[in-house]
A and B are shown apart, each in its own frame.
Chain A
Amino acid sequence: MNEFADLEARALRVREHIIRMAGGGGCFIGASLSCADLLVYLYSRVLRVAPDAIAAPERDYLLLSKGHDVPALYGVLAECGFFPVERLRNHLRTNDSLYWHPNRSIPGVEFHSGSLGHLLSVGMGIATDIKLAGADNRVFVITGDGELNEGSMWEAMLVASAKKLDNLVMIVDRNELQANVRTEELIPLEPLAPRLETFGFQTATLDGHSFDAMQRAFREPGDGRPRAFIAKTVRGKGLPSIEARADRWFVKFRDDEVEALLEELHGRSAAAITSEALQVR
């Protein structure tokens, strides 16, 4: 019996949602697929947060700092019961607020983002208040690797370390691609783990698509420092036709391509994609 079968099924449904959101007006499909498994695992096995207590002061917080991957969060929140799955059909409709970046009107979304480099410090404010209250809830911040170009991230890390925010967990979605090019070709981040260590974070690297690896990594005890997890991921994970392609940053697929990608996701046939990526950055 695969102890992660329920998570794998959930992750597959989340990927279906993401692909459907990439039809119509499109979405940042690659980044959404790269962090989908992480979000599924965190909401299913780690975070103490429930749809019927989304404002509970004792909840764990998850902040999506690289907000453009929000289709993954929409999908996970819907699958976890924070709002009806049918609501995902409202993506980009003016009668709802499911757009390309997160906002607080969506149940379960803690804060808006979209401008990179913001939510580590916002999460630190939340973490600081939790410590002032003497509570033990934790704050998880999902960042992109491209987002680590932003100086505000490193500034915030210095402060998080200085203030000993051991209830802060930063997870880097290390898919090695930023908007247009590979991270290592533009502003190299490596060696990333030692860099995060020297900024005062207890750092671990894991496979961001392996639930088993996540279970082992997230069960490791903290040592009093803020924590960083470098989740090695693949942009576009689950869809070989777009995996790791730098030009599949933001894509708006035709209806027939959406159906072909769903087929590909289920391993039935490869999708032939001709829609070009939009130039959005």
Chain B
Amino acid sequence: MSYESELLRLCESDPRIVVMTAETRAAIRNLPDILGPRFLDVGICEMTMVGMAAGLALRGRIPVIHALATFLTLRAFEFIRTDVGIARLPVKLIGAVPGFLSDGNGPTHQALEDVALMRGIPGMSVVCPADEEELVAALPDIIRMPGPVYVRYNARPAAVQHQRPYAIGEGEVLATGDDVTLLTYGLLVEEAARACGILEAQGYGVTLINLRTLAPLDAALILRWARATKLVVTIEDHFRIGGLSSMVTETLFAARVQTPVLAISMDERWFHPALLPDVLAHEGFDGPQLAERVRAAIGGDAWRTASA
């Protein structure tokens, strides 16, 4: 099941849904002919698209709106915050090629602050599927939720063998161990799973959590594993400020949990544009390099021995 076919299925069962785009059609190429007037391409006008989506929602519609994640969350930010956010309207914002998925486009296209911006809007949910399987599984709930939702669109092939049914606000525990907790979301679940395997093979006890949604955040799950392990690592293709590392340190500090946190993120810079596998390798985000960065942080063999 693809994102497009699932969205079409939902449109056919719920006449309130309208599909909009600011001329970003890659994921919904077949829908214009099928949906007719319920498909609305406004051209390269992100602000107008968001404003119109708010108006449609005021009339009882559920607009599912598509644009590149950068242009949607940055160009139209004030429209999202002011028109959709203040009124808490059920507009579903689908941000394409977020984070590393912008490949070789360059910094103009790198959405590395989208999570920080969207989670800063009261009432906004932030959904970050690890692959198309999760994206499709989440879509009915995304539509059904009464408020606005931002989706970090990711329709890549299955990242891992998923362990439990998708549920908004519930993280997925993919491995358990008592040395280190890896927290991640979206595209990097796959690489984090590779890192997890490498670390386990080296004798470390690794808990791997695919958070799936960042707002609401599964704080209970994070705290439980932060208390049960000696180090928490956040892995994300996002700026350190305002992303998962910020959320996790806020969560731990508020609960007086003092487990150290290693943030693996983009720090004060954009990534070097290239094809995705090369970006991962160059920026140190492929499985082996992630494993090495984690291993270095937990102090190598000394700690493993002490904890064994």
**Chain A contacts to B: CB under 8 angstroms:** 57, 104, 110-112, 115, 117-133, 152, 155-156, 158-159, 162-163
User: Within 8 Å CB of A122, what residues of B?
Assistant: 51-52, 54-55, 58, 83
- Asked whether B45 is an interface residue with its Cβ less than 8 Å from the other chain, the reply is yes
Task: Return A213 CB to nearest CB of chain B, in Å.
Answer: 29
Give me 12 A-to-B residue pairs in the complex whose CB atoms sit less than 8 angstroms apart, sorted by A's number: A57-B59, A104-B87, A118-B51, A118-B79, A118-B83, A121-B52, A123-B55, A125-B53, A125-B59, A152-B47, A155-B48, A159-B42
With A104-B87, A120-B51 given, can you name 19 additional A-B contacts, CB distance below 8 Å? A111-B58, A115-B78, A117-B47, A118-B51, A119-B51, A122-B54, A122-B55, A125-B52, A125-B56, A126-B56, A128-B40, A128-B55, A128-B56, A129-B59, A130-B59, A132-B37, A133-B59, A156-B48, A162-B43
User: Within 8 Å CB of A104, what residues of B?
Assistant: 87
- Asked whether B230 is an interface residue with its Cβ less than 8 Å from the other chain, the reply is no
**Chain B contacts to A: CB under 8 angstroms:** 18, 37-38, 40, 42-43, 45, 47-61, 63, 78-79, 82-83, 86-87
B57 adjacent to A125 (CB under 8 Å): yes
User: Within 8 Å CB of B52, what residues of A?
Assistant: 121-122, 124-125, 128, 159
Q: How far is the CA of A115 from the CA of B53 in the complex (A)?
A: 17
A155 adjacent to B40 (CB under 8 Å): no
A159 adjacent to B37 (CB under 8 Å): no
User: Within 8 Å CB of A152, what residues of B?
Assistant: 47-48, 51, 79
Q: How far is the CA of A118 from the CA of B47 in the complex (A)?
A: 8
User: Within 8 Å CB of B54, what residues of A?
Assistant: 111, 121-122, 125
Task: Return B62 CB to nearest CB of chain A, in Å.
Answer: 11
Interface centre among A121, A133, A152, A159 (most CB of B within 10 A): A121
Q: Chain B: which residue is nearest A112 at the CB level?
A: B86
Secondary structure type dominating chain A contacts: helix
User: Within 8 Å CB of B60, what residues of A?
Assistant: 129
B40 adjacent to A121 (CB under 8 Å): no
> Would A129 and B82 be within 8 Å (CB), given that A159-B43, A159-B45, A159-B48 are in contact?
no
Q: How far is the CA of A128 from the CA of B57 in the complex (A)?
A: 11
Task: Return B75 CB to nearest CB of chain A, in Å.
Answer: 10
Task: Return A217 CB to nearest CB of chain B, in Å.
Answer: 25
A121 adjacent to B51 (CB under 8 Å): yes
B58 adjacent to A155 (CB under 8 Å): no
Q: How far is the CA of A246 from the CA of B62 in the complex (A)?
A: 43
Q: How far is the CA of A112 from the CA of B45 in the complex (A)?
A: 22
Task: Return B147 CB to nearest CB of chain A, in Å.
Answer: 16
B55 touches which of A117, A127, A155, A163 (Cβ 8 Å): A127
Interface centre among A57, A112, A120, A128 (most CB of B within 10 A): A128
A156 adjacent to B55 (CB under 8 Å): no
Interface centre among B18, B40, B42, B52 (most CB of A within 10 A): B52
Q: How far is the CA of A261 from the CA of B248 in the complex (A)?
A: 58
Q: How far is the CA of A78 from the CA of B115 in the complex (A)?
A: 43
User: Within 8 Å CB of B83, what residues of A?
Assistant: 111, 118, 122
4 nearest interchain CB pairs?
Answer: A125-B55, A121-B51, A125-B52, A129-B59
Q: Chain A: which residue is nearest B44 at the CB level?
A: A155
Task: Return B84 CB to nearest CB of chain A, in Å.
Answer: 10
User: Within 8 Å CB of B58, what residues of A?
Assistant: 110-111, 122, 125-126
User: Within 8 Å CB of B55, what residues of A?
Assistant: 121-129
Q: How far is the CA of A115 from the CA of B42 in the complex (A)?
A: 22
B47 adjacent to A155 (CB under 8 Å): yes
User: Within 8 Å CB of B45, what residues of A?
Assistant: 155-156, 158-159
A132 adjacent to B48 (CB under 8 Å): no
Q: Chain A: which residue is nearest B47 at the CB level?
A: A152
Q: Chain B: which residue is nearest A152 at the CB level?
A: B47
Q: How far is the CA of A158 from the CA of B63 in the complex (A)?
A: 20
User: Within 8 Å CB of B59, what residues of A?
Assistant: 57, 125-126, 129-130, 133
User: Within 8 Å CB of A123, what residues of B?
Assistant: 55
User: Within 8 Å CB of A112, what residues of B?
Assistant: 82, 86-87
User: Within 8 Å CB of B47, what residues of A?
Assistant: 117, 121, 152, 155-156
Q: Chain A: which residue is nearest B78 at the CB level?
A: A115
User: Within 8 Å CB of B38, what residues of A?
Assistant: 132
Interface centre among B37, B51, B60, B78 (most CB of A within 10 A): B51
User: Within 8 Å CB of A111, what residues of B?
Assistant: 54, 58, 83, 87
User: Within 8 Å CB of A121, what residues of B?
Assistant: 47-52, 54-55, 79
Task: Return A107 CB to nearest CB of chain B, in Å.
Answer: 16
B87 adjacent to A129 (CB under 8 Å): no
User: Within 8 Å CB of B61, what residues of A?
Assistant: 129
User: Within 8 Å CB of A129, what residues of B?
Assistant: 55-56, 59-61
Q: How far is the CA of A130 from the CA of B52 in the complex (A)?
A: 12
Q: How far is the CA of A59 from the CA of B47 in the complex (A)?
A: 26
User: Within 8 Å CB of B53, what residues of A?
Assistant: 125
Q: How far is the CA of A272 from the CA of B220 in the complex (A)?
A: 65
Q: How far is the CA of A156 from the CA of B54 in the complex (A)?
A: 14
User: Within 8 Å CB of B48, what residues of A?
Assistant: 121, 124, 152, 155-156, 159
A156 adjacent to B86 (CB under 8 Å): no
User: Within 8 Å CB of B37, what residues of A?
Assistant: 131-132
Interface centre among A119, A122, A155 (most CB of B within 10 A): A122
Q: Chain A: which residue is nearest B40 at the CB level?
A: A128
User: Within 8 Å CB of B86, what residues of A?
Assistant: 112
